[in-house]
Structure 1
Amino acid sequence: MNVPCIAPNKRLLTTLAAIFALLSPSLVVAGGRFSLFDLEPADFNTLPSRSLSLPPALPSSTWPDFKEAPSFRNGKECTPSQLYHSGYKEEENLCDSLAIHVAMTLDVTYIRGSVAAILSIVQHSVCPENVVFHLLASESKAELAQIIKLTFPYLKFKVYHFDVNLVKDKISASIRAALEQPLNYARSYLAEILPMCVKRVIYLDSDVVLIDDISRLWATNLDGHPLGAPEYCHANFTHYFTDAFWTDATLSAVFEGRNPCYFNTGVMVMDLEMWRFWGYTKAIEEWMEVQKSVRIYELGSLPPFLLVFAGDVQPIEHRWNQHGLGGDNFEGLCRTLHPGPVSLLHWSGKGKPWVRLGSGRPCALDSLWAPYDLESNNNFLQS
């Protein structure tokens, strides 16, 4: 049943938090800096109100303004590393063996979501200074990097250029135009773009927020698999491919000897060493080439991942991807949480919380995203 859209307010947030805490106590993060559910309504007014504007060279009509995020520091239990030594170079920073590596994409359309996701990660991390962000942008790299630097002055990050020429001729039409954007395919190239010293990375979509310590996700034992993700084996796997695929014995034979299950590529723990050794990026590209000649799927970047990895994925607890909060790919209707504990909320689907909040017609669960929104025109924290 769809949840009616209602306007967000602090009373609603507090009520939802209390309900979720009763239904699933593990929603309340133990050991993190502080949790959304630990706050009283008045506490939201203590978050920073300073608005950061970009230099005059960047037109204000194009680029959003964000408040500066609080500075989060490591707890006493965190292991010291070279991240804190004076005089380190950027590559040493990126290659720190104790770092938790997180990869995301950056663009103008989703920058508000990316900023909220980053804030949620460092806010709930026991060792936030151990987290290094690898951010991929296909255009406006310098401007986007400046936004991140101004919003998170303390953050360890690097913005990489993603060359859309790698995929633009391989992308096929999808059921939703947003799924056809080249940057959606950047996750397939992390093993090639990130430094060789980065052997493992957590990939996250820009429409997520974490309410748990990311080190717990980082600690996932991949047990010899190239990636880990929450699997959904109850889903009808045949729906992700066309009849042309299933009726072609040569194509469908790819799943012989495998027990394929659907998984969402918006949250993945990836073994980049295995990717480089086995050439998984090339395998994904080859399936995209097949799609250009024989239409074997309708969705964007997901099906090639299923073709290459389904049945060879290390299952991760479902709590790490409460996906589908953005509704379906056509209408983006409101949805409720899936049963069970929650560590990560994911607004996959057409509806994005910052768009719905901005339109004045948010869904109930969008109020759980709003406290991480640092956009300067966001009135949630001040109202």
Structure 2
Amino acid sequence: MDLRWFRLAWHRLSSSIGLRWSRLAWHRLWKPLLISALVLVVLTCGLLGLSGGSSSAGVRLRVKVSNGSSDEIHVCLCSDDTDLRPAAVAIKSAHMNAANPERLFFHFITTPELAPVFQELFAVYLVGISVEVHADAELQGKITSFISFRESSRARLILASPFNFAPFYLHEYLAIRKSSGQEVKVPDRLIYLDTDTLIMGDLAELQEIDLEGHPCGAVKYCLQTMDNYIDFHVVEELGYTNYDPKACIANRGLLVIDVQRWIALDLTGKIEMWLGHYRDSKADLWLGGMSQPPWLLAMNGKFLELSDEWNCNSLGRDSMSPEEAQSLRQSGFDHAALRNIGAKFGEYGGVTPYVVSCSATGKMLHFNGAVKPWAVAKIPLEQKLPACALPENMPPTKFEWEANVRVFCRPMKFVNCAELWAAYISEDVACALRDFDQEWGEDLDLLQRNLDAKRTKKAMDEAAKQEVEKREMEDRKQRESTERPLDAKRTKKAMDDAAKQEVEKREMEDRKQRESIDRPDLAEGQLSEMEPSSDRPPVITP
């Protein structure tokens, strides 16, 4: 168990009993006694986390143990995030909006290291709510072995967490063996929720729904199709042709699972098969996401379609695509409505920020996207947050921002989506469940990634520059090698001409020399004709 675990436990457990450490607290007289008590609690929790023996036994901690009653509604969440705020809000909102909250039994799946800490936090901050914490190092390792992340994909690295794939192994996590060796009976039906959700409806509706022989139920989403996620050219190259690339997707943010049918159809095995194809394929088998594409391929549309109310999504997205914006216009939003909300059209028809109208009647609000409501402090002040229609069953709440608009002449109130989420957690509880180390750690990681990217770009630019210089040098050598024979030819011709002229000059001189030797009288005669001799009198012609 590393130092980070102790730091997290120290911070969280001190918060749970109302003692927020400060610099002044270190000077209190009772510091030694308090430190000793906290160390004892932390060590006890640590031993609980390690007491499972072998990794196959795992960790099973409980606030309240399920009695296996058919009246119970078993709800599962999975996360290794040390920030417990999103999970707490998902659980609390589901409990508050249930007609019979005593029927709800929550299963939280996480790492063996975090399980003891989360156990204590759930006990303190979710009083009266049945929560059971599950962890299994061996199963976690098995899941991790199937995951591969490609830098060429559009997926975020955080999605490569094994707990993003844990929903496909719920029946295995819940079947962790007790110390007696007896296997725990897994409920026949499980409801899975992403932690970034807000439950506004009664989950009992999903418990009672007839799945009609399907292994699971999910909400269809037709603003995106299968080929938005998956490269079907690669799928066909692998020999699979029974897919419709234009089929609507289903978001797995909420699943209603028939455990026996899921096992009988070996859906977990099929998902593992597609993960293997993704790992071994030379080209990217899917284009975005990590766990969504293999689930879509394994299901291939064979799920019961749930009501749209059970997955009102995109509350965490910062903009709408042109197709989504068109749907918004068709639903009755005019220029005045969008202007009152503060939304703007982009150059290609998109809308910023994301405008969510389904939240008015939605039974599950899904904050999928990068704008998480518990992290809005990191969003630039000038950036407009996603806007949500006020839910009809929202308890009385004071909002920092509101906008009243008319959609098809019907009045609607919009608020920041993040404020809907914040209404289900108090400031004190949010402070206690927040991981302060993680916040700055993420920032430092981002800075380091930016620095690494800058260094990488500089190295790539330098390499590109050297490559250009290398090519220029090669081109210059090539030109020189091409021009050299021509220059040599020209030089040889000039030398030959010069030699020829020299030969001709010499020949002329030799000829003159010979002529002067062979005819000396010619030279004298020429001289007498040209110049009269001084010893001879001039000849006078009569």
TM-score greater than 0.5 by the shorter chain: yes
Measured in 1, the distance between the counterparts of 2:8 and 2:63 equals 26
- Alpha-carbon distance in 1 for matches of 2:13, 2:127: 22
Look up the match of 1:343. Answer: 363
Does the Cα contact within 8 Å between 1:102 and 1:204 map onto a contact in 2?
A: yes
- Give the Cα–Cα distance (whole angstroms) in 2 for the partners of residues 159 and 148 of structure 1: 9
Q: For 2:204 and 2:118, how far apart are their aligned partners in 1?
A: 26
| 1:215 aligns to 2:204 (yes or no) | yes
Deviation at 1:62, TM superposition (A): 9.8
**Hey, what's the Cα distance between the residues in 1 that align with 2:427 and 2:136?**
25
**Shift, 1:286, TM fit:** 1.1
Inter-partner Cα distance in structure 2 for 1:317 and 1:291: 32
Secondary structure at 2:293 match in 1: helix
- The verdict on how the C-alpha distance between 1:217 and 1:181 changes in structure 2, with shifts beyond 3 A counting, is same
User: Over aligned residue pairs, what C-alpha RMSD do you find?
Assistant: 3.2
Contact 2:198 2:364 in 1 (8 A): yes
| Counterpart check, 1:113 vs 2:133 | no
Q: How many residues align?
A: 301
Equivalent of residue 150 in structure 1, options 124, 127, 137: 124
Secondary structure of 2:9's aligned partner: coil
Letter in 1 for 2:256: V
353-362 vs 271-280, which moves further: 353-362
Which amino acid letter does the alignment assign opposite residue 145 of structure 2?
D
More divergent stretch after superposition (320-329 vs 196-205): 320-329
- Label 1:334 to 1:305 Cα distance change in 2 as closer, same or farther (>3 A): same
- SS of structure 1 residue aligned to 2:428: coil
How much has 1:246 moved relative to structure 2? 4.4
Residue 176 of structure 1, aligned match among 129, 137, 156: 156
**Structure 1 residue 152, shift from structure 2 partner:** 1.6
| Stretch deviating more after TM superposition (118-127 or 292-301) | 292-301
Q: Residue 192 of structure 2 aligns to which amino acid in structure 1?
A: Y
Give secondary structure in 1 for the equivalent of 2:70.
coil
2:310 match = 320
Matched to 1:122, the amino acid is H
Matched to 2:142, the amino acid is L
Counterparts of 1:62-141 in structure 2, within 5 Å, are 93-138=66-111, 139-141=113-115
| Aligned pair partner of 2:259 in 272, 292, 316 | 272
- Give the secondary-structure state (helix, strand or coil) at the position aligned to 1:93: coil
- 1:346 Cα deviation from its structure 2 partner: 0.6
Deviation of 1:260 after TM superposition, in Å, equals: 4.4
- Specify every segment of 5 or more residues in structure 1 that has no aligned partner in the other structure, as ranges: 1-54, 68-88
1:66 deviation in Å? 9.9
Q: TM-score, length-normalised on structure 2?
A: 0.51
State the alpha-carbon separation in 1 of the partners of residues 318 and 249 from structure 2: 16
Other structure's SS at 2:198 match:
strand
Instruction: Please say if residues 208 and 345 of structure 1, whose CA atoms lie closer than 8 Å, have aligned partners that are also in contact.
Output: yes
Percent identity over the alignment?
Answer: 26
| Bigger fraction of residues in helix | 2
Write out the 4+ residue segments of structure 1 that deviate beyond 6 Å after TM superposition.
61-64, 89-92
Maintained 8 Å contact 1:135/1:159: yes
Q: What amino acid sits opposite 2:10 in the alignment?
A: P
What are structure 2's unaligned runs of at least 5 residues?
1-5, 19-61, 176-184, 320-351, 387-415, 432-542
SS in 1 for 2:133: strand
Indicate how the Cα distance of structure 1 residues 62 and 355 shifts in structure 2: closer, same or farther if over 3 A, else same. Answer: farther
CA distance in 2, matches of 1:303, 1:135: 24
**Aligned twin of 1:58:** 9
Q: Report the counterpart of residue 356 of structure 1 in structure 2.
A: 376
Once the 2 structures are TM-superposed, how far is the Cα of residue 112 of structure 1 from its aligned partner?
0.6
Tell me which of the two structures has the higher relative contact order, counting C-alpha pairs closer than 8 angstroms and 6 or more residues apart.
1
User: What is residue 37 of structure 2 aligned with on the other side?
Assistant: none
State the 1:277 CA deviation. 2.0
Q: What does residue 255 of structure 1 align with?
A: 243
Mapped to 1, the partners of 2:110 and 2:275 lie a distance apart of 21
Larger-Rg structure: 2
The structural deviation recorded for 1:214 is: 1.5
Query: In structure 1, what is the equivalent of residue 166 of structure 2?
Result: 186
* Letter paired with 1:277: A
Cα distance in 2 between the residues matched to 1:237 and 1:223: 24
Displacement of 1:328: 6.4
Write out per-residue CA displacement over residues 312-337 of structure 1, whole angstroms, 9 at most, x where no aligned residue.
010011111111111169xxx74221
Match of 2:258, as an amino acid?
Answer: D
Query: Shift in Å at residue 376 of structure 1?
Result: 1.6
